[in-house]
Amino acid sequence: MTDIIIYHNPDCETSRNTLAMIRNAGVEPHVVEYLKTPPSRPLLMHLIERAGITPRQLLREKGTPYAQRGLGDERLTDTALVDAMMAHPILINRPLVVTPLGVRLCRPSEAVLDILPTPQQGAFAKEDGERVVGADGNRIPSP
């Protein structure tokens, strides 16, 4: 059994597509609805480090208090950005996926394919109809 965790927002199409691709690999992940159960500060810092990104790269702008909080200010420290994400979990971009092969912010959703330890079990198309995996279970190259 492969242990996979997805920090998920069911209202987000990208997050739903990512979850569906994990399931298309024959894996039922541990789903953490991070808006209901936000990660602790140490866990969030660990996820950021393992994903090889900065807090700014994890920061979500759309549909959040990003602008109202002045988070576009490049002078803000990583600590200040993480403080904002802890105070307003909606600022955490999603989905974050943890697998035995690494941690990835899966934007676009097919980025999850790079860290799934098991292959896709068949064709997969995103909710918008874009085909990303063929019937053979292999990734379809982007045009």
Report the catalytic residues.
Answer: 12
Joined tokens for residue 134? 């063929």
List for the chain the helix, strand, coil content (%; round to 5): 30, 15, 50
* Separation between Cα atoms, residue 143 and residue 49, nearest integer Å: 31
DSSP string spanning 32-67? EETTTSPPPHHHHHHHHHHHT--HHHHB--TTSSTT
Q: How many CB atoms lie within 10 A of CB 82?
A: 19
Q: How many CB atoms lie within 10 A of CB 128?
A: 7
